[in-house]
Amino acid sequence: MISSRHYLLIGILFVLTGISILFSLLSGSIDLELSVVLSELIEPGSALENQILREIRIPRTLAAFTTGGLLAMSGVVMQVLLRNPLADPYILGISGGAAVGALSAILLGAGSVFFTNAAFAGALFSILLVFGIANKFGQWSVTRLLLTGVVISAGWGAVINILLTTSSTNNVQSMLFWLMGDLSQSQVYLGHYILLAAGLAGGLIISRSLNVLSRGELFAQGLGVNLGMLRITLYFAASVFTATAVTIAGSVGFVGLVIPHILRLLGARDHRILLPCSILLGGSFLVIADSLARTLIAPQQLPVGVVTAVIGVPSFIIILRSTMTK
């Protein structure tokens, strides 16, 4: 059911997205004037400030937005797939696999290209491992998938701990940043934007089926949903969103879990609305969090994952309280 309230929500989120991006472009170790930002967007300049903007701030802001959007969308899909409000993009062990790949690359002193490939390979391995085990014995139930994911996740956790405890102090620092989520090394490419756009387009195409599946698998089948196909599609879509986000920025927590819930509490329960809103709110949330991560204790930087939790927890509780007393 789409109402004018939903269009208003989307409108507000677009404005929020614009503000968050502007905020991010203006803030950092060097303060930039609004006029510089605006003139750079119209006509690229050659001053130092323009270079900072073009080579550092804009790419980083776009990386934050893309990562946040992917994580929020993945969270929406995981929560429907598992019909579990506690589900988040990392619940099935994808981030664990990516972390083991990334940490191993750090341990081996690998360069950034190898590093991102290692993280993505780890995530991919974990996706296939969980799918293979959960699928192995015929009937693919949500409980089996969830249990498999949680157990594999715990296994990765153990490997991560081994890597952390056996690494040099120097490496441990960058490992911890990666594990908490960090955008300082992030790069996004055209492929990432295409994935985000294609994910949204695909999500909108099956959004009605997501609405039906939210009410249960039998119910969905009774209303004509091809459950087997849908489940596999959702599993791999959410997994690829997560794997990509984790490859860009490490395991940024909280966005994928809480953004979908905040939007549902604000009335965006229909996936035709929830999916685009989750990209806008997830993206702008991470853009703001990353701006704060760069500026709060400048010139030092905080891992963005710490900031997402620090702003996310109280705002979620406030929204939860205000919608419960209605």
Partner 1 sequence: MTSLIIESLTLSIEDNILCRDLNLKINENECWGLLGRNGVGKTSLIHSIIGVRTIDSGQILLDGQNISELSRRAVAQEIGVLFQDSIETLPATVLETIMLGRHPHVQSRIKDNQNDHAIVDSVISELSLSELSDRQLSSLSGGERQRVAIATLLTQTPNIFLLDEPSNHLDIAFQISVLDTIKSKLYKRPASILMATHDINLAARFCDYFVLLLENGEHLQGSKKEVLTAENLSKAYGCEIQSIQTKENTLYYPV
Q: Which residues bind partner 1 (CB under 8 A)?
A: 1-2, 79-80, 83-85, 204-209, 211-212, 214-216, 218-219, 221-227, 264-265, 269-270, 272
Cα separation, 139 vs 148, in Å, equals 14
3-state secondary structure 139-162: CCCHHHHHHHHHHHHHHHHHHHHH
Cα separation, 181 vs 245, in Å, equals 10
The CB-of-108 to partner 1 minimum distance in angstroms stands at: 43
The CB-of-79 to partner 1 minimum distance in angstroms stands at: 7
The CB-of-70 to partner 1 minimum distance in angstroms stands at: 21
The CB-of-218 to partner 1 minimum distance in angstroms stands at: 5
Cα separation, 240 vs 158, in Å, equals 23
Complex with partner 1: residue 85 or 132, whichever CB lies closer: 85
Complex with partner 1: residue 132 or 228, whichever CB lies closer: 228
Complex with partner 1: residue 7 or 114, whichever CB lies closer: 7
The H or E element that residue 258 is part of is helix 255-265
Complex with partner 1: residue 34 or 201, whichever CB lies closer: 201
Q: 């549902």: which residue's tokens?
A: 264
Quote the crossing angle between the two packed helices 34-42 and 4-26, to the nearest 10°.
Answer: 110
Cα separation, 30 vs 264, in Å, equals 38
Complex with partner 1: residue 216 or 314, whichever CB lies closer: 216
The CB-of-154 to partner 1 minimum distance in angstroms stands at: 23
Q: Which tokens sit at 116?
A: 């991102």
Q: Following CA atoms 35, 36, 37, 43 in sequence, which dihedral angle do they give, to the nearest 10 degrees?
A: 110
The CB-of-223 to partner 1 minimum distance in angstroms stands at: 4
Complex with partner 1: residue 46 or 137, whichever CB lies closer: 137
Give the distance, in angstroms, between the CA of residue 186 and the centroid of all CA atoms in the same chain: 14
